[in-house]
Structure 1
């Protein structure tokens, strides 16, 4: 992908986010898995996508489009065509290339500005599309987090990707807690600080070492049943994670209220770069 970005930038002056979107668009028509070799990802063309073998993917019907847009309000920023002169479009909560469907439950109205920002943000994770696709179908955040970790087969997973997958369909501002709660299901997950090869930033990464089959029925109900009492749980939370003030950036597309205001959440204390920590 590094070579593709460099070529597109040199030949066409295209920003990396735009190049990632081109790859994402190609995945609508072709099976294009990302293969990791060392710290870089390479794309391999394996043929046409399953949806393409029977013909071109159908567009959303006019009736369904009208039903999605009937609220006449952007689901992210809250602006309206009449009050703010924005143009609304139909957005897939879970992108089609990540396994999302055209069912109305996966569709929402977004203004063009919010839709563009979301596409650019999600494009940075397109190299993980295969892993995201495996995890996105689970209805509960615990399950999406767990399936994502499992899909990496013991490799490290960046926390930012876990947040995105946990929030597919509905934003989760407590995804770290959901991650820690997997310990009640006898999972073992470790964390470490690691440099992101693309941005150069030091982020927290996670790796699953032991996992168990999902319980029958609701995962949340099973976590509640097997976990400590509410009072004990709060004490464990206070002891295991120092409450550090943190606010999502205003432009973050997953921030409730359209990314206009930050949302305070908890962050665990940072470890020296490369140091592993048993999460539970």
Structure 2
């Protein structure tokens, strides 16, 4: 990270930020360094000052991260956005790219992970994509990176941007230690709205790949959850996909969720003795 001290809100160094609104957001985070705000507080402040929608504020936070280190630090059940310092940026202010080694490793399959097209066969350009966006808790770890063609990457970003209002909750869901918990917390974050299976599968596999995450989702019903599903066209792939929503949920059991699911599972032979 750049070791330069953070500039005060009236510093000419902030000319690197694209708009006065970005500088206003920076000033708010700068003044709240000792008491970092939650995303809800940031949105409320920007709405009061500018009357802008939450999605606009979320984009400004992402823009700010191109220049400054603003991690979402977990505090209890919430995440607080702390202005730490300068980001790893080039002189022109843009985010540093991945190393040649990382880029080569991610792009080695030479196939878009979404549509399957190849550069030599189909003339597409592959880019390194974050499976889970940074602002949703995704990291630069190799397990969170995949090759996408530019067309699929643009479509994915546009699709995920429609869920920016859930960014804080999605980040929190991805940190749950158990797959049942990651899936359940994600469904709760949507507050009764439909969540796409593509997103659920990604968040379910955040800490460990889950080949059969659908089974984990179904098992939530053993804990008293009511979950609905529907088939609808996925705006990313254009294919018909499955969407889920939680209509009712229960508090998590103490201890291991997996153990409690196994205890309640009527197909478990141990429960029949």
Q: TM-score, normalised by structure 2?
A: 0.54
Runs of 4+ residues over 4 Å off in structure 1: 1-5, 29-33, 52-58, 169-177, 187-191, 219-222
Aligned to 1:25: 62
- Show CA shifts across 1:180-225 (max 9, x none): 422434x44577xxxxxxxxxxx97535553124643xx5565345
Aligned to 2:251: 211
Structure 1: give runs of 5+ residues left out of the alignment: 6-15, 34-44, 192-202, 232-280
Aligned to 1:98: 136
Counterparts in 2 of 1:204 and 1:96: CA distance versus 1, 3 Å: closer
Residues 1:226 and 2:264 are matched in the alignment: yes
The 5 A counterparts of 1:103-252 are 103-138=141-176, 140-148=178-186, 152=189, 156-160=191-195, 164-168=199-203, 178-185=216-223, 187-189=224-226, 205-206=245-246, 208-213=248-253, 215-216=255-256, 219-220=257-258, 223-229=261-267
Say which of 87, 103, 120 aligns to 1:82.
120
- Show CA shifts across 1:91-129 (max 9, x none): 111111111111111111111011111100000001110
Relative contact order, CA 8 A, sep 6+: which one is greater? 1
Contact 1:24 1:126 in 2 (8 A): no
Aligned residue pairs, count: 191
Residues 1:72 and 2:110 are matched in the alignment: yes
Q: 1:71 Cα deviation (Å)?
A: 1.1
- Show CA shifts across 1:37-66 (max 9, x none): xxxxxxxx9663x5x467556532111111
The 5 A counterparts of 1:31-42 are none
Q: TM-score, normalised by structure 1?
A: 0.53
Q: 1:82 Cα deviation (Å)?
A: 0.7
SS at match of 1:94: coil
Counterparts in 2 of 1:134 and 1:208: CA distance versus 1, 3 Å: farther
SS at match of 1:158: coil
Counterparts in 2 of 1:163 and 1:227: CA distance versus 1, 3 Å: farther
- Show CA shifts across 1:148-202 (max 9, x none): 356x5xx8331226862443376989867644422434x44577xxxxxxxxxxx
Aligned to 1:60: 98
Q: 1:133 Cα deviation (Å)?
A: 0.3
Aligned to 1:274: none
Contact 2:225 2:246 in 1 (8 A): no
Counterparts in 2 of 1:61 and 1:213: CA distance versus 1, 3 Å: farther
Aligned to 1:241: none
Q: 1:26 Cα deviation (Å)?
A: 2.5
Contact 1:149 1:207 in 2 (8 A): no
Greater radius of gyration (CA) = 2
